[in-house]
Amino acid sequence: MKTETKSRIVVFFLSLLVWILITMVFSIPSLIAGVIMALITAIFAGEMLIITERKFHLKRVWYTIEYLVKFIWELFKANFNVAYIVIHPLLPIKPGIVKVKTKLKRDSALTMLANSITLTPGTLTVDIDVDNQILYVHWIDVKFTDIEQTTEFIGGRFEKLLEEIFE
């Protein structure tokens, strides 16, 4: 089966599931409306979900769960960090923009890495240089400016997991 067709079928069933979950009405007219909406979604935006031919590994599911747990924990820490900075009377900040190198190549992986960096303590992705694989990161409390150390400190937490999930 072609990748595009497969992707459309997955999108169709996912949208139908979302429709059923958000309406929670199990009558025939509602389900027919859901099927029509899911079909429209699958026709217009269906080919974007799955873009590569890859085997489904159970290992990737495990890595995704590990990533989510880590991500939520870091998000939690980030919020206490912001709360501490904001309440502190002297505003203990030392902001700056540093560079982070990355090994990831695919767009989806880079987007997830940038999002993860933004939602973790003290860092915010400003720009990505895709050709040189460099992320520019605004850091509220700059500890080191050397590119090797920043890569280890900021990117290292998620990069390995994202490499396993997306590459």
Partner 1 sequence: MPDLAINQIIGYVIICIGVIFDLFGVLGLVRLPDVYNRLQAATKSVTFGSAGILFGVFVYSGFTSMGFKAILCAIFILLTSPVSAHAIAKAAHSAGIKLTDKTVIDLYQEDKELQK
Binding site for partner 1 (CB under 8 A): 18, 21-25, 75-76, 78-79, 81-83, 85-87, 91, 93-99, 111, 114-115, 118-119, 122-127, 129, 136, 138, 140, 142, 145
Closest to 115 measured CA to CA, from 107, 125, 129? 125
CA distances from 91 to 21, 65, 137 (A): 45, 36, 20
> By C-beta, is 42 or 117 nearer to partner 1?
117
> By C-beta, is 3 or 79 nearer to partner 1?
79
Q: Are 64 and 165 in contact (CB under 8 A)?
A: yes
> By C-beta, is 41 or 123 nearer to partner 1?
123
Q: Mention every residue, 6+ apart, whose C-beta is less than 8 A from residue 8.
A: 42, 43, 46, 47
CA atoms of 5 and 15, how far apart (whole Å):
15
User: Cβ 5 to partner 1, closest distance in Å?
Assistant: 26
User: Cβ 86 to partner 1, closest distance in Å?
Assistant: 4
CA atoms of 94 and 91, how far apart (whole Å):
9
> By C-beta, is 9 or 20 nearer to partner 1?
20
> Which single residue is written with the structure tokens 């979950």?
21
User: Cβ 122 to partner 1, closest distance in Å?
Assistant: 7
User: Cβ 7 to partner 1, closest distance in Å?
Assistant: 19
> By C-beta, is 24 or 28 nearer to partner 1?
24
CA atoms of 145 and 9, how far apart (whole Å):
48
User: Cβ 85 to partner 1, closest distance in Å?
Assistant: 7
